[in-house]
A and B are shown apart, each in its own frame.
Chain A
Amino acid sequence: MPGKKNMKKCTGREVARRSHDQVRETLAAWLREWRIEKALAIEESTVSIVLYGAGRGVERKRSEPPRPGEVRLLRPEDAFSCRRPRYVLVLESDPRVGNVRVVPFSRFSTPAMPGEHRTGHPASPLAVLCAWNVRTLPWGRVQRAWKVARWGAARHAAAQRAVAICPFPDADPPPDTAGETGPPLTHPDDPRWNYLREEAAEWDAIEQSCEAVKPAFWVMRERDKENRDAKERLAAESWPEYSPHLPKNHARKSRAKGDHC
């Protein structure tokens, strides 16, 4: 019947139009927050606000080990963690490896690009998850962080899925996530590129500020002062003199066997 055919066409067109409207509103909302943030930027030359310095001197009680699904607030132990609260969702944690895989939350309430997802959580600090910015932090850093919330299995699974399917910033998001993510970056002068670079650089700095995880094997050091990497040697060279640095509980008889040669 002609009427029914027209209704089908109208429905499909209506869906496409609503989808385009949603994309436009999401982008406009994010740009609005971005413009406001730039307008409110604090300049140290004009404002006598004393910003934090990083410090770790505060004694802390032993904290709970991080578990997948927990939302944690990083302690202000570096310059960037001092500028704003940094909330992260724990994805994977393995004490044997010594690292914890986390996903940061956005400071904005609207997703910027396809790699950011609305979580559906009512709290503003946990509204948007930055799946594009997955990080690996040392176990100790995350253990010291404050436990803020714990997500249910469904929300945690949604976060893991968001990380698993995270596309490039300019790629179209999967159709079933179109309503939860931001629109792709198509213009090289899009201000979202600035946001992406700034946020990535800050989290790089947070990762670098963490103590390096020491692997559970012996550390060999050269006695001579040549500028050579102690872990490599050229094929024709003989072994350099070394003094093995053994763990304190290492048994003496293993040294006699020459295990470290």
Chain B
Amino acid sequence: MTVSESSSNSSLPGAATSASSSLFAAFDEWRRRCALALCSLGASHQLKTFAWKRFDIFCRRYAPFVPAANAEAGHPLTPPPADCWHLFETRLAVDRTRAGKRYKDWLFEAARAAPGAMLPRLTGGATLLMRDVVRAWLAHEAPRPHTNSLQAPAGGGAPDEAPSLEELLPVDITPADEAAEREWERISVEEARRSWRRLSRRDRVILTARALDLSLADEPVVTAAAARKSMLYAAFHSLLARLADDLRRRYADEESAAICSLARRVLQKMECRALTWARSEKSCAILFSSSERRGLCREKRI
């Protein structure tokens, strides 16, 4: 289904142009008057229709359905046109003041900035905003099951592809006896030694930052690793994924929760190695000084 800014019922170019200009005038009037209730009837009807059509498109995308009789009928989840625009206004506003409705200025400024006709950019931007409104509305107010199955795939994909909700929840397995605990420790030390040799310098800096209670968002970490934040998070994720794959391969008979717990222990052991390594690295001195400052700041604020 396409979203076209010209009226879907008009076949003449002149009629399409007239409809476009009246829609633009409606948007402009809404921006000047600040609220739909203060706009003229014509502008109000135009904007409500626009909002309803967008809302309906997104609802159909979320939950495709076959209309029973009337093909023009809206999706069962789509609210009435007045409610669609009301949601658009209220979800995006920070408060009722003019400052709290700066999203309108954002919408119009981007439409004005580039050359060419404004209306396509204006309605395109409004559609992007409506998408966020619909997402929030569907998440909180649309009908849904009262229970969340722990075994349902978390990402919404096929059951054998995506991990289940149960697998994503944090869990810690504590061995019941000392012998098992010693075995866990021995395995984690051995795995940490093996994995450490394969780490890149960036991985080691990340583990050092983790050991020092720093965040990947801290500037010293970015400087020491010589990488942007997105690269740091990607590298950290890759490190965890490699570790998990390696452990799953070597301990295929263990439960997923046990491997997860083992991975955390191995990570802790690698952090200790990273601290020792970082003390001999000149480029990591900034991490230690930042950690000291952060520790002082944390004591002041907590």
Contact = CB atoms under 8 A, between A and B. Distances in A.
Given A107-B132, A188-B244, A31 B155 contact: yes
A218 interface: no
A40 B297 CA distance: 42
Interface in B212-226: 213, 215-219
Interface stretch (A7-15, A54-62, A239-247): A54-62
A230 interface: no
A227 interface: no
Given A40-B131, A40-B134, A134-B217, A164 B114 contact: no
Given A146-B99, A191-B155, A200-B233, A52 B121 contact: yes
A160 B92 contact: no
Interface stretch (A119-127, A209-217, A248-256): A119-127
Contacts of B233: 169, 196-197, 200
B2 A161 contact: no
B58 A40 contact: yes
A186 B110 CA distance: 40
Contacts of B91: 124
A155 B109 CA distance: 30
Size bracket, chain A contacts: 35 or more
Nearest to A189: B163
B131 A58 contact: no
A30 B56 CA distance: 23
B169 A161 contact: no
Contacts, number: 219
A71 B94 CA distance: 10
Contacts of A170: 240, 264, 267
Given A36-B138, A39-B62, A84 B99 contact: no
A256 B244 CA distance: 65
A71 B114 CA distance: 26
Contacts of B61: 39-40
Contact of A36 (B3, B129, B139, B216): B139
Interface stretch (B24-32, B68-76, B100-108, B279-287): B100-108
Interface string B77-114: 00000000000000111110001101101100111111
A97 interface: no
B169 A183 contact: yes
A52 B114 contact: yes
Contact of B124 (A52, A109, A160): A52
B267 to A, nearest CB: 8
Nearest to B248: A188
B162 A189 contact: yes
Interface in B42-65: 58, 61-62
Contact of A164 (B99, B216, B241, B294): B294
Interface of B: 1-5, 58, 61-62, 91-95, 99-100, 102-103, 105-106, 109-114, 120-121, 123-125, 127-129, 131-132, 134-136, 138-140, 144, 148, 150, 154-156, 162-163, 165, 167-171, 210, 213, 215-219, 228-230, 232-234, 236-237, 240-241, 244-245, 260, 264, 267, 294, 297-298, 301-302
20 contacts: A20-B169, A32-B139, A33-B139, A48-B3, A49-B123, A49-B127, A52-B111, A73-B102, A76-B113, A85-B92, A123-B93, A125-B92, A125-B103, A161-B302, A166-B215, A167-B213, A168-B236, A170-B267, A193-B237, A201-B230
A-B pairs, top 5 by smallest CB distance, nearest first, are A55-B113, A200-B230, A188-B241, A76-B110, A50-B120
Given A148-B102, A196-B233, 11 more contacts: A24-B150, A24-B169, A48-B4, A49-B123, A49-B128, A55-B114, A58-B109, A125-B103, A146-B102, A160-B301, A183-B169
